[in-house]
Chain A
Amino acid sequence: MPHAPKIAADRIEEAAHTVMAKAGIEIPDDYLHGIQAMASTESGDLSAFVLRAMLENWEAAKADRRPMCADTGVPRYYVKIGNEARIEGGPVELERRIRRATARATHDVPLRPNRVHPLSRRDNDNNVGINAPEIEYSFEPDADWIDVTTVHKGGLFGTDYRMLFPADGVDGIKRFYLDTLIAFGKRGLACQPAIVGIGLGGSKDTCMVLGKQAACLRVVGDRNPDPEIAALEDELKTLGNSIGMGAMGFVGSSMVVDCHIEVGYTHTGGMPMSVHCFCLSSRRATARLHPDGRIEYRTDPEWFTPYLRRDTVEWQSPAASSKKSA
C-alpha cells in the first residue's frame, strides 16, 4: 500500500486555531442537553436560577462569538495520530504549529492569557510558556488521519488524588468521591454541575491523567464498556446528585451531569484514585485532519478507543482479525 500523502502543517495550525475558538465559545451539545435536563428538574430556586443564567450565557456566547467564560483555564491538547498518518515536518513541526495556533487564538478570539511562570508570575500574554500548552498523544491502528482536540479545563479547584487500598473497596471510593465534591462544591468552586471524571489505578501520575481524560474527553451519556465500571458510574452519578447541593453550592440536586471512570492496572497492593470536575463551560473541541486536506470538526473527542483500553500483550485490529477469519 502506498503511503498516504503528508498532512500539511498549515492545515494543522488552522485546525488548532479553530478548535481553540470553538472550545471557548460553543458549549458542546451533550453537555448542553445534560444541563437542560437538570434545569427542568432542579427544585432549588437559586440553583435553578443559576442553570437558567448559564443556558442564557451559552446563547449569548454563540450569538456574539465571545467566550462563554473569561477564565480560559489551562488550555491543552490531545493529539491522536493514526498509525498510517504522516505529518509534514514531523512531530516537531506539529508542536510548533500547535503553539503558534494557541498564541494566535489567544489574541484573536480573544481568550484570557492565563499561563504565567509559577514563581516570577511572568505572563507572555499568549497562553504559551514552559511546558504550556500540554500536548498528550495517543495512537490509533488502521487510520491515516490525526485528531487534534483542545480542552480548556479550569485550573484551580475541583480535583484531588488519594492512595486507597484494596481493603477500602467501593466504600473508600464513595467516601473520597463525596469528600472531593463536598469540599469543592461549597460556594460552587467546582463550577458544578460538572462532568466528574475518576481515575482508578495506574501509578500516581497515570491515575491523575486517566481521571482528567475521563472528565474532559468523554461525553455526557457515554458509559465505560466494562459493565461493572458502567454500573459504578451510574451509582456515583446518583450519589453525587443526592448530596443536597446544586449549582454554586446552593440547596439543590444539580451536582453531577455525568460520571466517567477510567482504569489502569495498578500496584497489587494499592487502589489510587483521582477525582476531576469539568466545569459549567466544559470546553472541548476536536478536529480530524485527513491526508486529502479535509478537516472535520466535532465535540466528541472519541479518545477512549478499544486500542487505548487494551489489556492484552498483542493488539489485533478488528480489521485484521476479520480478514484472518474470512
Chain B
Amino acid sequence: MAEPSGKLKEVRLTTPVRHEDLRRLELGDVVYLDGLIYTGRESVYKRVLQDGVAPPVDLKALTNVNFHCSPAASRNADGTFNVGAVTATASFRFSKWLPKWLEVSGAKVIVGKGGMSEQDYRDTFVPAGAVYLTTVGYGTGALLGRGIKRVRDAHWIDDLGIAQAMWVFEVEKFGPLLVESDLDGNSLFERNNRIVNQGLARLYEGLKPPSLARYGETDDRRDELIG
C-alpha cells in the first residue's frame, strides 16, 4: 500500500518472473516488466482449452506472463508489424478459463484490466502461485506502447485477426502496472471497495425508490456485479 509520504513503491521484474520476486510484492506496488510477455484472451483460451488445439509455441519455455490485451497494430507489406498502443481488456470475463489456463501455460503473472474477484484469487491464483497486475487508467496505451521493443510473433493472426491473435512482445520497463493481488489472494480493488462501501448508504438517504422496480440480481450497492 502507499507509504505515508503518499508515494507508491516501485518494482522492476524480469521475465520469467521468479516465485521469490512475487512473494515480495505488496498490494499497490507499482511494477514495470522487462523480458517477454504474450497476449491471450477469449479466442486463444477457447481454441486451446475448448477446441483442444495445442498452443502455437511452448509457453512454459517462453515466459510466464499473460497479458489480457489486444494491441493497436497494423501489418506492413513486408510482414513486419507496427504497434502503436497497447491497453488491457477487462479480465473478469475470462474467469471460467483461468484455472485450466494457469495449469496449461504455467503463467504466474496475469496482466489485465480491473482484476478478478478475491474468490478467483483464492480458488485459482493462490494454488497456482500466481498474481494479478492491473494496468492503470484505463488505459495508458501510449506509455505501455513505448515499453514494447519488438514484436517477436503474432500467432494465429490470419484467422483470429489483429485483436485476438497471440502476440509475443519483447518489453522493457513495461508499465506502470499496480499489484492488484498478492500470493495470499488479497485484492487491492476489494480492499478499496470495502472502504468506499461504508459511505454508500449515506448517498441514498432520503431518495425514495422508483415507482417501478426492475428484476435484478442484487439491490445491494455494496455488491460488485462481476463474476
* Interfacial residues, chain A to chain B (CB-CB below 8 A): 24, 45-46, 48-50, 53-54, 56-58, 60-61, 64, 66-72, 106-114, 116, 121, 123, 125, 156-157, 162-165, 167-168, 171-172, 174-176, 178-179, 182-183, 186-189, 191, 239, 242-245, 247-251, 279-281
Contacts and interface: CB of A to CB of B under 8 A. Distances in A.
A57 B138 contact: no
Contact of B143 (A57, A157, A162, A179): A57
A67 B203 contact: no
B163 A165 contact: no
Q: Which A-B residue pairs are the 6 nearest by beta carbons? A: A110-B74, A123-B161, A61-B142, A45-B2, A60-B142, A70-B87
A172 B210 contact: yes
Interface in B101-117: 114-115
Interface string B50-88: 000000000000000000011111100000001111110
B20 interface: no
A67 B209 contact: no
Given A112-B163, A248-B137, A249-B193, A69 B87 contact: yes
A55 to B, nearest CB: 10
Contact of B72 (A111, A176, A182, A244): A111
B1 to A, nearest CB: 8
A71 B90 CA distance: 11
A113 B139 CA distance: 17
Contacts of B114: 187-189
A279 B83 CA distance: 22
Contacts of A48: 6
A79 B85 CA distance: 28
A67 B85 contact: yes
Nearest to B69: A70
A70 B141 contact: yes
B196 A251 contact: yes
Contact of B90 (A24, A64, A156): A156
10 contacts: A24-B72, A46-B178, A53-B176, A54-B136, A61-B85, A69-B87, A110-B73, A178-B221, A243-B196, A248-B138
Interface residues of B, number: 63
Given A68-B85, A70-B145, A249-B189, A168 B210 contact: yes
Contacts of B211: 164-165, 167-168, 172
B215 interface: no
Given A45-B8, A157-B90, A113 B189 contact: no
Interface in B148-179: 161-164, 176, 178
B28 interface: yes
Contacts of B214: 162
Interface-centre pick from A48, A69, A171, A191 (highest chain B CB count, 10 A):
A69
A116 B160 CA distance: 11
B161 A125 contact: yes
A25 to B, nearest CB: 8
A54, A110, A111: which has the most chain B beta carbons within 10 Å?
A110
Contact of B137 (A53, A109, A162, A164): A53
Contact of B139 (A71, A109, A239): A71
Nearest to A51: B137
B162 to A, nearest CB: 5
Contacts of B71: 70, 112
Contacts of A188: 114, 137-138
B28 A69 contact: no
A249 B196 contact: yes
Contacts of A182: 200, 221
A66 B115 contact: no
Given A70-B84, A113-B161, A242-B203, A57 B140 contact: yes
Nearest to B43: A121
Interface string B120-138: 0000000000000010111
Given A69-B138, A186-B193, A250-B192, A164 B210 contact: yes
Contacts of B146: 60, 64
Contacts of B225: 183, 186
Contact of A109 (B84, B140, B204): B84
Contacts of B139: 69-71, 191, 280
Contacts of B196: 186, 243-245, 249, 251
B140 A54 contact: yes
Interface in B200-227: 200, 203-204, 206-212, 214, 221, 224-226
Contacts of A24: 72
A71 B74 contact: no
Given A66-B85, A112-B163, A280 B221 contact: no
Given A112-B162, A244-B199, A178 B84 contact: no
